[in-house]
């Protein structure tokens, strides 16, 4: 009887620890999103005040980086929630959430890569035009 009690207490302790860890990881993800919004908001206001509103690509990329990182933390928290004796319903929910978050992250990363390529190409073209006008 005593072994079962010790086992039950240990299991309860592990479950509690994982739930606290999940909460911490979710909190970190939320803080990253909040920080990303603040940073992108500051850049946006700076662009508005400087009347440089033609291209918001850099601001979008900044926010996208924060969102992509936050999605990784949120997915980690979801995985933690099913790490201890999951039911089939929890596994199904995790699967759906994982697919959605992974797809969001994939398309966000793809968009960031595409935008970086366009920005880099535009920068090279401007430098080439500037060099041609000097020569």
60-87: pLDDT as tens digits: 889 988 998 998 899 899 888 888 767 8
Report domain extents, the chain. 1-85, 87-134
CA-to-CA separations, 79 to 2, 22, 76, 134, in angstroms, rounded: 32, 9, 5, 58
pLDDT at 51: 83
pTM: 0.72
pLDDT at 20: 94
Contact of 85 with 19, CB cutoff 8 Å: no
């Amino acid at each position: 009887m005593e072994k079962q009690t010790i086992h039950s207490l240990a299991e309860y302790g592990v479950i509690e620890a994982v739930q606290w860890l999940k909460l911490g990881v979710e909190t970190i993800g939320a803080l990253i999103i909040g920080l990303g919004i603040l940073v992108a908001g500051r850049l946006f206001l700076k662009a508005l005040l400087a009347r440089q509103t033609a291209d918001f690509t850099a601001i979008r990329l900044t926010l996208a980086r924060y969102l992509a990182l936050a999605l990784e933390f949120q997915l980690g928290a979801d995985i933690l929630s099913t790490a201890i004796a999951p039911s089939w319903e929890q596994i199904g929910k995790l699967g759906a959430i994982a697919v959605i978050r992974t797809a969001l992250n994939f398309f966000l990363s793809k968009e960031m890569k595409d935008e970086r390529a366009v920005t880099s190409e535009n920068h090279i073209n401007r430098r080439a035009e500037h060099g041609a006008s000097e020569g």
